[in-house]
A and B are shown apart, each in its own frame.
Chain A
């Protein structure tokens, strides 16, 4: 009986932003005690819908019922009052405060204006035991792992008495083990009678975790199904709107001459430690070289060295036979290196520039964009039009700020720009991180296409599946060295694992 009671019901929710309908008549029902996945591509409108439920946005049309009662949620405090809690993708925690201080923040147990920290610690302890969410109340946020920070966020909502929990892409920032732990936590929360909405685009998690799934595409609900009566492929097709290939054919390919060569690269860190310790690489035309390895073994430094962001202390880098060792980023760019950076917000785009200003970020000083010191906006607009059409970058126009685009569209814009520059060598670092299936498929297809056109590609990724999927060769990095190569056509996980752990005998 409890199982069928409705915790939240949204009916006919519509939310418009200038030039875009983010939610178009969405109806959605969350039963008590269930885990309901909200599945959709980036920019489909999942987060907007949940922000409406949490009171951050007001819907233009539609009705919200919580526990059967029609309500207007005009702010997060109203949502909290109704027992709705949200765990955001980017945590909202005070770094120098302790776990307990963060949890009680806003409703501290106090006496005469003085916070009773002892009582706070005890409350937090009790709560963490009740829900088996392991945290140390006395640790500072800045000293604990990302997984534990997330548990603190969950405890924060529980402390405020939330019965309905919204999780926005909760696994995006976690390691493999942490994801396992989180899934366990969510299951036990549901068993305790909490109703849970999880926003995601990862099909594996949907299948492993949820009771039912609502799929959103371009602001509309395209289907609500019971998880046990569906499968990954069906969901993927529902989400993207067409059939998708989750696996591609691979074969050995012919490659051309050496485009890029790095010899014995050495780089010292600020602590005078060798972060690159004799890396040598060659990439040929029409070849994707993948770099595998645990994060922090010199991958970022390798990219910084090649692009000229940071100076090498030894070694030589050359492209098309031309020495570009320790040249500036401008010069390496002109020599034929394009770069899809790992952090697209920090390094890839100027978020408060328009799309047409962003597409010339690396070329604004050249003709036809620069005409005797003056910018030609018509030329920039023309290019922006061409690239956004060609790469299907969805926005409300080329004069929109890059900030207002979804992550997938931002990434597409960067890839469009970097490929348009017609590089000899394309460096792609985690090119599909945080993207949904549709966008991942698209990005990977574009990279393959660039390879087939004869470009040399250096791919750095922490997703092993992606490396095996795309690469023609895979080199493994460990502590600033290349410790070995594996053949992507004969995947040997055991040998790869040993190499990644630095065992060169493998």
Chain B
């Protein structure tokens, strides 16, 4: 039996390890460097970065309304982050979360506008409709890859545009009044808004999708690391040849993985319609959540908790930029520079490690990251 003190020290050591492991330290340093880069840009532009950042972060918690709206801004990023990361774990690069997101919106709008059902059927059905349509949209990409060897990066980018214009066409033809640039409102029975919570948050647009997003983060972990299916997906992602030798159907696994990834993005889109706007607009450009999802998955290291934290950061930065422009008169685009810089520093580990070097005392680090014995 170990003494309590020893156990405590052991636990403490473990705790420290989590935070000093270079895998989690790099993103943190990257974020700091990103904020510094943004500050330098503001200085060059003649703004006071301290005031600006103060306004940005102040905005997030200024009022119950702002807190609620920050949560709203974070939710779709969780979904698209999960989407990109899920595909990545199976060795696929899903650039198409954007299109899948739009198709998810369309699926939800279709069911929300065209059908009239009791709420306990209608709302879940509209959600599932969005997920399935997003899944199919990504599944096509997976199918092309499995059957024809089409590179998923190319095909998913193209599917983004096809998805956007297809959705515009469907809305314009079947879902809207003549001359309108947006679809009809979805029925109240399909809505995922949480009225009493919005009331409490000064009419911020609160919806059930946030809870579904958190459940999805958990599902992401369970599915990949606890199930037989996830074992197959990861095996195919890490070594398709060995997976094939072991009797796995690599092509089918690729399609499955893309479908699930697309369903995550589709869910994000569905809740934008069912929980936030209540309708879908005809737009010339897609909303951008899918592309931000790539950044979220990258910063989050394709791990479930990492994605959640990254989505919170990017969602917060995006929403807070409004406050920054209002109070400190700094253009909101500066936040895009910050996000861009964070991604840049994540992608270039070398620079981050160089910055970290003077601060780290000598440790016997494994030279090879794969020596880390862990499952995740």
Residues of chain A from 235 to 281 with CB closer than 8 A to chain B in the complex: none
Q: Which of B228, B243, B367, B371 contacts A57 (CB 8 A)?
A: B367
Q: What are 9 A-B residue pairs whose CB atoms fall within 8 Å in the complex?
A: A17-B366, A57-B367, A330-B248, A349-B242, A357-B375, A361-B246, A374-B226, A375-B226, A401-B373
Contact B239 A330 (CB under 8 A): no
Question: With A and B bound together, what is the CA distance between A331 and B364 in angstroms?
Answer: 47
Residues of the B chain whose Cβ atoms lie less than 8 Å from the Cβ of A330 = 247-249
**Residue B205 interfacial (CB < 8 Å):** no
Q: Which of A19, A60, A350, A397 contacts B242 (CB 8 A)?
A: A350
Residues of the B chain whose Cβ atoms lie less than 8 Å from the Cβ of A16 = 364
Contact B246 A401 (CB under 8 A): no
Residues of chain B from 217 to 267 with CB closer than 8 A to chain A in the complex: 226-232, 234-235, 238-239, 241-249
Chain A's nearest CB lies how many Å from the CB of B279? 39
Question: With A and B bound together, what is the CA distance between A396 and B374 in angstroms?
Answer: 12
Contact B239 A351 (CB under 8 A): yes
**Residue B370 interfacial (CB < 8 Å):** yes
Contact A341 B245 (CB under 8 A): yes
Interface mask (A318-339 → B, CB under 8 Å = 1, otherwise 0)? 0000000000111101000001
Chain B's nearest CB lies how many Å from the CB of A375? 6
Residues of the B chain whose Cβ atoms lie less than 8 Å from the Cβ of A353 = 234-235, 238
Residues of the A chain whose Cβ atoms lie less than 8 Å from the Cβ of B5 = none
Contact A361 B235 (CB under 8 A): yes
Question: With A and B bound together, what is the CA distance between A13 and B83 in angstroms?
Answer: 48
**Residue A352 interfacial (CB < 8 Å):** yes
Question: With A and B bound together, what is the CA distance between A307 and B9 in angstroms?
Answer: 53
Residues of the A chain whose Cβ atoms lie less than 8 Å from the Cβ of B234 = 350, 353
**Residue B368 interfacial (CB < 8 Å):** yes
Contact B364 A60 (CB under 8 A): yes
Complex A-B, nearest 9 residue pairs according to Cβ-Cβ distance, in ascending order: A330-B247, A361-B246, A399-B373, A329-B247, A347-B245, A350-B239, A403-B370, A370-B228, A401-B370
* Given A350-B243, A375-B227, A17:B235 Cβ within 8 A: no
Contact A17 B227 (CB under 8 A): no
Residues of the B chain whose Cβ atoms lie less than 8 Å from the Cβ of A400 = 371, 373
Question: With A and B bound together, what is the CA distance between A64 and B370 in angstroms?
Answer: 28
Residues of chain A from 387 to 414 with CB closer than 8 A to chain B in the complex: 396-397, 399-401, 403-404
* Given A309-B245, A399-B375, A365:B228 Cβ within 8 A: yes
**Residue A113 interfacial (CB < 8 Å):** no
**Residue A362 interfacial (CB < 8 Å):** yes
Question: With A and B bound together, what is the CA distance between A339 and B375 in angstroms?
Answer: 26
Chain A's nearest CB lies how many Å from the CB of B253? 13
Q: Pick the most buried of A349, A350, A397: most chain B CB atoms within 10 A of its CB.
A: A350
Residues of the B chain whose Cβ atoms lie less than 8 Å from the Cβ of A333 = 246-247
A-B contact count (CB 8 A): 97
**Residue A480 interfacial (CB < 8 Å):** no
Chain A's nearest CB lies how many Å from the CB of B220? 15
User: Beyond the given A19-B373, A351-B238, A364-B232, could you list 7 further A-B residue pairs with CB under 8 A, ordered by the A residue number?
Assistant: A330-B248, A350-B242, A364-B228, A399-B373, A401-B372, A401-B373, A404-B370
Contact A352 B373 (CB under 8 A): no
Question: With A and B bound together, what is the CA distance between A84 and B248 in angstroms?
Answer: 47
Which chain A residue shows the least CB distance to B243? A350
Residues of the A chain whose Cβ atoms lie less than 8 Å from the Cβ of B367 = 17, 56-57
Contact B371 A17 (CB under 8 A): yes
What band does the interface of chain B fall in when counting residues whose beta carbon is under 8 Å from A? 20 to 34
**Residue A204 interfacial (CB < 8 Å):** no
Question: With A and B bound together, what is the CA distance between A459 and B226 in angstroms?
Answer: 37
Residues of the B chain whose Cβ atoms lie less than 8 Å from the Cβ of A397 = 373
Q: Pick the most buried of B229, B241, B247, B373: most chain A CB atoms within 10 A of its CB.
A: B247
Question: With A and B bound together, what is the CA distance between A232 and B374 in angstroms?
Answer: 42
**Residue A491 interfacial (CB < 8 Å):** no
Chain B's nearest CB lies how many Å from the CB of A417? 10
Which chain A residue shows the least CB distance to B248? A330
Residues of the A chain whose Cβ atoms lie less than 8 Å from the Cβ of B243 = 350
Question: With A and B bound together, what is the CA distance between A357 and B374 in angstroms?
Answer: 11
B residues lining the A interface (CB < 8 Å):
226-232, 234-235, 238-239, 241-249, 364, 366-368, 370-375
**Residue A354 interfacial (CB < 8 Å):** yes
Contact A364 B245 (CB under 8 A): no
Question: With A and B bound together, what is the CA distance between A362 and B247 in angstroms?
Answer: 7
A residues lining the B interface (CB < 8 Å):
16-19, 56-57, 60, 307, 309, 328-331, 333, 339, 341, 346-354, 357, 361-362, 364-365, 370, 373-375, 377, 396-397, 399-401, 403-404
Question: With A and B bound together, what is the CA distance between A339 and B245 in angstroms?
Answer: 9
Residues of the B chain whose Cβ atoms lie less than 8 Å from the Cβ of A396 = 371, 373
Chain A's nearest CB lies how many Å from the CB of B13? 14
Question: With A and B bound together, what is the CA distance between A370 and B228 in angstroms?
Answer: 6
Which chain A residue shows the least CB distance to B246? A361
Contact B227 A373 (CB under 8 A): yes
Question: With A and B bound together, what is the CA distance between A33 and B242 in angstroms?
Answer: 45
Which chain A residue shows the least CB distance to B365? A18
Q: Pick the most buried of A309, A328, A353: most chain B CB atoms within 10 A of its CB.
A: A353
Question: With A and B bound together, what is the CA distance between A361 and B245 in angstroms?
Answer: 9
Contact B242 A346 (CB under 8 A): yes
Q: Which of B242, B247, B249, B375 contacts A354 (CB 8 A)?
A: B375
Chain A's nearest CB lies how many Å from the CB of B51? 44
Contact B364 A352 (CB under 8 A): no
Q: Which of B228, B238, B239, B244 contacts A375 (CB 8 A)?
A: B228
Residues of the A chain whose Cβ atoms lie less than 8 Å from the Cβ of B232 = 364
Chain B's nearest CB lies how many Å from the CB of A53? 15
Question: With A and B bound together, what is the CA distance between A364 and B227 in angstroms?
Answer: 10
Which chain B residue shows the least CB distance to A332? B247
Residues of the B chain whose Cβ atoms lie less than 8 Å from the Cβ of A364 = 228, 231-232
Residues of the A chain whose Cβ atoms lie less than 8 Å from the Cβ of B375 = 354, 357, 377, 399
Contact B228 A399 (CB under 8 A): no
Residues of the A chain whose Cβ atoms lie less than 8 Å from the Cβ of B368 = 403-404
Chain B's nearest CB lies how many Å from the CB of A314? 23
Residues of the B chain whose Cβ atoms lie less than 8 Å from the Cβ of A307 = 245
* Given A375-B226, A375-B231, A352:B370 Cβ within 8 A: yes
Contact A354 B239 (CB under 8 A): no
Residues of the A chain whose Cβ atoms lie less than 8 Å from the Cβ of B372 = 18, 401
Residues of the B chain whose Cβ atoms lie less than 8 Å from the Cβ of A373 = 227-229
Chain A's nearest CB lies how many Å from the CB of B222? 8
Which chain B residue shows the least CB distance to A56? B367
Residues of the B chain whose Cβ atoms lie less than 8 Å from the Cβ of A19 = 373
Chain B's nearest CB lies how many Å from the CB of A485? 29
Contact A357 B247 (CB under 8 A): no
Residues of the A chain whose Cβ atoms lie less than 8 Å from the Cβ of B235 = 350, 353, 361
Contact B239 A329 (CB under 8 A): no
Residues of the A chain whose Cβ atoms lie less than 8 Å from the Cβ of B227 = 373-375
Question: With A and B bound together, what is the CA distance between A377 and B226 in angstroms?
Answer: 8
Question: With A and B bound together, what is the CA distance between A357 and B233 in angstroms?
Answer: 13
Question: With A and B bound together, what is the CA distance between A357 and B373 in angstroms?
Answer: 12
Which chain B residue shows the least CB distance to A341? B245
Q: Pick the most buried of B232, B243, B248: most chain A CB atoms within 10 A of its CB.
A: B248
Q: Which of A346, A352, A377 contacts B241 (CB 8 A)?
A: A346
Chain A's nearest CB lies how many Å from the CB of B354? 14
Question: With A and B bound together, what is the CA distance between A370 and B230 in angstroms?
Answer: 12
Question: With A and B bound together, what is the CA distance between A251 and B146 in angstroms?
Answer: 51
Residues of the B chain whose Cβ atoms lie less than 8 Å from the Cβ of A18 = 366, 371-373
Question: With A and B bound together, what is the CA distance between A341 and B375 in angstroms?
Answer: 25
Residues of the A chain whose Cβ atoms lie less than 8 Å from the Cβ of B241 = 346-347
Contact B242 A352 (CB under 8 A): no
Residues of the A chain whose Cβ atoms lie less than 8 Å from the Cβ of B226 = 374-375
